[in-house]
Amino acid sequence: MQIPPIFLISSEKEFAEKSIILFEGYSKILILTDSHVAEHCLTSLIAMAPKLADAEVLEVDPGEGSKSVDVSIHLWTHLAELNADRNTLLINFGGGMITDLGGWIASTYKRGIPFIHIPTTVVAMGDAAIGGKTGIDHGGFKNMIGTFTNPECTLIYTGFLKSLPAVERRAGFAEIIKTGLVADLEVWNLAKDLEPEETDELTDIIHKTAMIKQKITEQDFRETGLRKILNFGHTIGHALESYFIERSTPVAHGIAVGLGMICETRLSAEVNNLDAAVSREIIDHLSWIYNPTEFELPVFGELKRYLLQDKKTHNNQLMFVLLDKPGKASFNHPISLDIIELHYNLSLLHINE
């Protein structure tokens, strides 16, 4: 399968030049975004790509709540009302929620229309906009419905991060750390020395992370093997995210993954012989950025049903990605609920520690 290109854009001029080529040849162009991105970034996008001045803007509410069946129906209906055909381009302009939702809408409307991702957050630039995963939440469970469908391309311009609140840059940095821990020691070492809330420091490491994910995706698009390592921190993380979504008190995806990595690093030491001193270093760094005591985390019994809906479950057995060492991970590690509960309590609830 041909993997679509990622364009790492370094300036407004380069973005403008690239857009002239990329946005030609379509019957119409639509932009999907959320109200926050529309307010803070849409004017800049159109200034760099004047061809988009006449594009219809489809705006949804910010946050994970828009990744739903109801919003999907609304968007499909809107596309039909606009007479969108199979040569209509959908530009997904926003964070990971928008790239997940927009990819899902484009991949299903009329059995698929072309789409381009223009991510505006750290998590989307380094992870969500790359690799062809699309999806929405359903029944209180994260990404329950979706497809593997590639965009035409992804444009990464870190200038959009200037409009992002510092706390969101911190949240998104979890996917950068994850990529370094599972696949690239250099990225992990760089991540340890960076202040995740400082925009100017992030361009280089975001570009490195994006290309690492691209390379892994090229080898395993449908996540049957190697690509599974990119789910480190996500088994616990997605369960936490689903728990908070269902209670209408959502936490950012990156925060949930950061907390998940704390627990799953401890599991790596217990089950996969990750060096104890290395484990402690990783946990200390993650806890400095994503402090578990800042959140009212559920007891394990409240988390269990979300864990058992994890897409990596096999024959009712939870399968984890675990660290072998910084920069290398392995997958398909079965772990019993008793062991998970013990280390969830120790690492995140600080029970019996």
Could you report the per-residue pLDDT of 55-99, keeping only the tens digit for each?
A: 999 999 999 999 999 999 999 999 999 999 999 999 999 999 999
Q: CA dist 306 to 44, 174, 228, 235, 316, Å?
A: 40, 21, 19, 9, 13
Within this chain, domains 6-164 and 168-349 share the same CATH topology: no
Task: Please write down the long-range contacts of 164-167, taking CB distance under 8 Å and 24 or more positions apart.
Answer: 164/120, 164/121, 164/122, 164/199, 166/197, 167/197, 167/252
Of the candidates 137, 132, 127, 131, the one whose C-alpha atom is nearest the C-alpha of residue 147 is 132
pLDDT at position 269: 98
- What residue spans define the domains of the chain? 6-164, 168-349
Residue 19 CB burial class (10 angstroms; 0-12, 13-18, ≥19): buried
For residue 279, the model assigns a pLDDT of: 98
Write the CATH number of the domain with boundaries 6-164.
3.40.50.1970
d(CA 301, CA 77): 40
pLDDT, residue 353, reads: 56
- The span from the CA of 285 to the CA of 192, in Å, is 7
Predicted confidence at residue 228, as pLDDT, reads 97
* 28-34: strand order across its sheet: 6-9, 154-157, 115-119, 88-94, 28-34, 56-60
Total length of the chain:
353
Q: What tokens were used for 86? A: 């199979």
pLDDT band, residue 118 (cuts 50/70/90):
very high
pLDDT at residue 311 tops 80: no
User: In the prediction, which pLDDT does 313 show?
Assistant: 74
- The CATH fold of domain 168-349: Dehydroquinate synthase-like, alpha domain (1.20.1090)
- State percent of the chain over pLDDT 70: 99
User: What sign does the dihedral 188-189-190-192 (CA atoms) show?
Assistant: positive
Tokens at 204, concatenated? 């280089």
